[in-house]
Amino acid sequence: MQHDFYLAWRYLRHNKARSLILIVCLGVIIALPLALHRVLDEAERRMSARAEATPLLVGARGSAADLVLNALYFTESPAFIGMGEVDRIAATGWADPLPVYARFRVRGLPLVGVTMDYFEFRDLALAEGDLPALLGDCVLGAEAGRRLRLAPGDTLPTTPENVFDLAGVHPLKLNVTGILAKTHTPDDQAVFVDLQTAWVIEGLGHGHETNPRAGRADSPFAPASGDGVAYTEITPDNLASFHFHGDPAGFPISAVIAVPRDARASALLRGRYLDDDARTQIVRPSEVTRSLLQNIFRIGALFDAILLPLGIAALLMTVLVFALSLRLRQREIETIHLIGCSPMTVIRLVAAEIVLIACSAGALGWVLLQAVGVGAAEFVRHFVIA
């Protein structure tokens, strides 16, 4: 048997191209379905963990999935609610409300308006610098800081919603005060500001330029300009002049994270949102995420159904390659017979080649699976969660 494997090994080495093609094809076929399920398992684990850490969400009535994705992953929000909803939840005494306003993007990254309680709720620690303390300050997630190549003390102009709207609100020049430590969550890719700063970006608040000759506040704050781009900048000199017009209860937010005191408070608060005609809804992110994951697993089952016939076709092709190879090696087989070997010897040689190729393909599949296991978390963050 040892000699059979030696001769088979020498034959495979002599035909390197054919052997490598067979090994790679079989290795990928073995690894592909297992790698797919490993990625799905990682996506389920990460999405479930963030949803389980968020007890309740209140937002505009409509798609519960859109509400959860916006509040947890900072995707585009289809509708907004008023800040008065925060006061309504706080007035019940059953839960602590944490408003989230994820509407804008800056250089492709989500710009999220939150209160200081959000950082404590998500256990977001600072890697360097400080949390936002003044109007116009921002703190960057770890990945946002790396991609934008900014550090505390730098500035970050926001991106106008419509570059063709010349009469619209000018970009706001944000002051970067800190970089958050990496958490491997969507918070890593966000730029956080306080709610008031987010409302200034939206144009709900503005400052007034002080005319030193008149000694009083002049007409609305004029944007500064630099490098040919006009923007609004909040400085210690004009900070006190910034103010908002209108009822703060009507200022927009995209969702409210409600953290109930206990199970009874959670049930009572959910009871406040049973009216189907109300403009707001309350959802459990864990339940919504579970429903989303069920759809993802249906896609996984669909992939399995597609991969099964592909795998069978690939195996049949492999059998065909071996059959054609045996026909091409007819003279070689006749030589083996002429030197006194039995037909069983030929069968043993072919079997040894198949075993060596199968073992090599299995080893390659294992290596591919390990590589997917190492990169699955990053893949999920970039292509599933982000």
Instruction: Please provide the DSSP assignment of 58-90 as one string.
Output: EEESS-HHHHHHHHHH----S--EETHHHHHHH
Average pLDDT, the chain: 83
Question: How does residue 382 score in pLDDT terms, banded at 50, 70 and 90?
Answer: low
276 band by pLDDT with thresholds 50, 70 and 90: confident
Claim to verify: residue 163 and residue 311 sit in the same structural domain: no
The verdict on residue 314 lying in a domain is yes
User: What token pair was written down for 303?
Assistant: 């992939």
Task: List the beta bridge partners of residue 211.
Answer: 216
- Which residues lie below 8 Å from residue 104, measured CB to CB, with a gap of 6+? 110, 111, 158, 159, 161, 198, 201, 202
Handedness of CA 127, 128, 134, 136 (dihedral sign): negative
The set of residues, in sequence order, having a beta carbon less than 8 Å from that of 5 and lying 6+ positions away, is: 352, 355, 356
User: Within this chain, do residues 333 and 258 fall inside the same structural domain, yes or no?
Assistant: no
Range of the domain at 162: 56-217+225-283
Same domain, 333 and 213: no
- Shared-domain flag, residues 211 and 81: yes
Is residue 196 in a domain?
Answer: yes
Report d(CA 332, CA 110) in Å as an integer: 67
292 in any annotated domain: no
Q: Is residue 209 part of a domain?
A: yes
What's the CA dihedral at 195, 196, 200, 206 to 10 degrees? 170
The residue out of 283, 308, 332 marking a domain boundary is 283
Task: Identify whether 339 is part of a domain.
Answer: yes
Q: What is the pLDDT of residue 96?
A: 93
- Packed helices 343-380 and 2-14: angle between N→C axes, nearest 10 degrees: 60
Kindly write down the DSSP assignment for every residue of 193-229, as one continuous string: EEHHHHHHHHTSEE-EEEETTTTEEEEEPPPEEETTE
89 domain residue, yes or no: yes
CA of residue 6 relative to chain centroid, distance: 50
Q: pLDDT per residue over 75-134, tens digit each?
A: 887 789 999 999 999 999 999 999 999 988 888 899 999 999 999 999 999 999 999 888
Q: Are residues 142 and 247 in the same domain?
A: yes
Max CA-CA distance within the chain? 115
Stronger pLDDT, 141 or 32, i.e. the higher one = 141
The rounded distance, in Å, linking the Cα atoms of 137 and 133 is 7
Residues 302 and 279 both lie in one domain: no
Q: Is residue 21 predicted with pLDDT exceeding 90?
A: no
**Domains in the chain, number:** 2
Q: What is the pTM of this model?
A: 0.73
Q: Is the pLDDT of residue 340 over 90?
A: no
Task: Let me know if residue 288 belongs to a domain.
Answer: no
Q: Are residues 104 and 194 in the same domain?
A: yes
14 and 141 both lie in a single domain? no
**Distance separating alpha carbons of residues 359 and 353, to the nearest angstrom:** 10
Residue 191 and residue 316 in one domain: no
Q: Are residues 277 and 305 in the same domain?
A: no
Task: Indicate if 177 and 273 belong to the same structural domain.
Answer: yes
Residue 293 is assigned to a structural domain of this protein: no
Q: Which has the higher per-residue pLDDT, 291 or 176?
A: 176
Domain co-membership, 4 together with 116: no
